[in-house]
Amino acid sequence: MKLLEFQAKKLLSQNGVRIPEGFLMESTEACERLRFPAVVKAQIPIGGRGKLGAVRRVKDKAEALAVAGHLIGTTKKGYTINSLLVEEAVDVKKEMYISCLNDREKNRPMFMTCAFGGIEIENLAQEKPEQIGRLGIDPFIGIMPYDIRRIASELELSDDKAFAPIVKGLWHIVRSHDATLVEINPLAVTDKGLVALDAKIILDDNARFRHDLEFREIELNQENYIRKNQTEPEVLAQKYDIAYVGLEGDIGIIADGAGTGMLTLDMVRDMGGKPANFCEMGGKAAADAAEQAMEIVLANPKVKTLLISLIGGMTRMDQVAQGIDRYLRENECRVPLFVRMCGTKTPEGSLILAQHGIQTQEDLQKTVQLAVENIGM
């Protein structure tokens, strides 16, 4: 679960990290409370808000009214802006980057730092990886004083005592809230000390059972501020509780598992095709899930070919085929359909689909190639 900026900053403040003074604004009337200069930030769960014009510095009431009036109600990357975080503009002497996240390669927490902030850390990691500091933390030992001194040195900070509460705060959030990412970008040196000017926190959905009340409070809070303009496939996916992510291509993809789906998506790209989505049925009842997944993916008018990639472990191919059969009997399939079927009850599943003139394949590479070569035939 990704927190909105004001939620992330509230959690940071509760854990000893200083944040700018500010408040949440939902209408232009709140401009009466502002002290200038100020920074106005749209509260939507996306990165790069500054480049989209959704973060603005204002110098007086007239400019604040104009910016707030322009932002509230507008849409950025599919999200309608309903609230703004308004903060005091601080005098910044230096900006830095710091985060605590999971190191997937070494399967342990890691602090990542950079001596200058306000940057896109992903791009910097590719272009100038030597400028990024990485420090793995033993989860059984935790943060030690020498770890804090090392991180402070990498950030070129001489006062590690003033810096220590920030490191400890990030670490505590990761450990006590099961966060997969706690990021401050930038962390600023100001006359008032170190201040988190922007923050991102992602909580691990798999740990919800340990924090159910906290998750429910966050979700309830976000319902009042986040309005996503969902596409028809996204609405259907939410209705049927099937994993779906829309992409920009024209080859619809349905898989019976996340691994199979990612492999298929990569192969489509490698062969020159453009995936229209990622959709996997997960552990749902095979027949129902297959029928629902076809409805979801084909609701996208950009889809010109449908590729269904199946590998039967616990899933029986005849049951998946029954779901595809039910959809085809009740709906006209407007695009070419290619099915890779391999695993339990494959012969029975192939016979069911043969009634619709569909010749299933066991070779995934061949099936992907057919889908890419026969778009919209």
Catalytic residue among 5, 87, 95, 97: 97
The C-alpha atoms of residue 308 and residue 324 are separated, in whole angstroms, by 10
pLDDT tens track, the chain, 377 positions: 899 999 999 999 999 999 999 998 888 777 777 788 999 999 999 888 998 999 999 999 899 999 999 999 898 888 889 999 999 999 999 999 999 999 988 889 999 999 988 778 877 877 888 889 999 999 999 999 999 999 999 999 988 889 999 999 999 999 999 999 999 999 999 998 999 999 999 999 889 999 999 999 998 888 777 766 678 999 899 889 899 999 989 999 999 988 899 999 999 999 999 999 999 987 666 899 999 999 999 999 999 999 999 987 768 999 999 999 999 999 989 999 999 999 889 999 999 999 999 999 999 999 999 999 998 66
pLDDT value, residue 48: 86
Q: Give 178-183 contacts, CB < 8 A, sequence gap 24+.
A: 178/203, 178/204, 178/207, 178/210, 178/211, 179/100, 179/203, 179/204, 180/101, 180/102, 180/204, 181/99, 181/100, 181/101, 181/102, 182/12, 182/99, 182/100, 182/101, 183/97, 183/98, 183/99, 183/101
The C-alpha atoms of residue 290 and residue 281 are separated, in whole angstroms, by 7
pLDDT value, residue 285: 60
pLDDT value, residue 47: 85
Residue 327 annotated among the catalytic residues of the structure: no
Asked whether 24 and 2 are in contact (CB, 8 A), the reply is no
pLDDT value, residue 228: 67
Structural domains of the chain ordered from first start: 21-88 (3.30.1490.20), 92-223 (3.30.470.20), 232-373 (3.40.50.261)
Residue 79 annotated among the catalytic residues of the structure: no
Tell me the residue type at 164.
A
pLDDT value, residue 250: 96
The C-alpha atoms of residue 327 and residue 184 are separated, in whole angstroms, by 48
Catalytic residue among 183, 280, 291, 295: 183
Q: Return phi, psi of residue 247, to 5°.
A: -125, -170
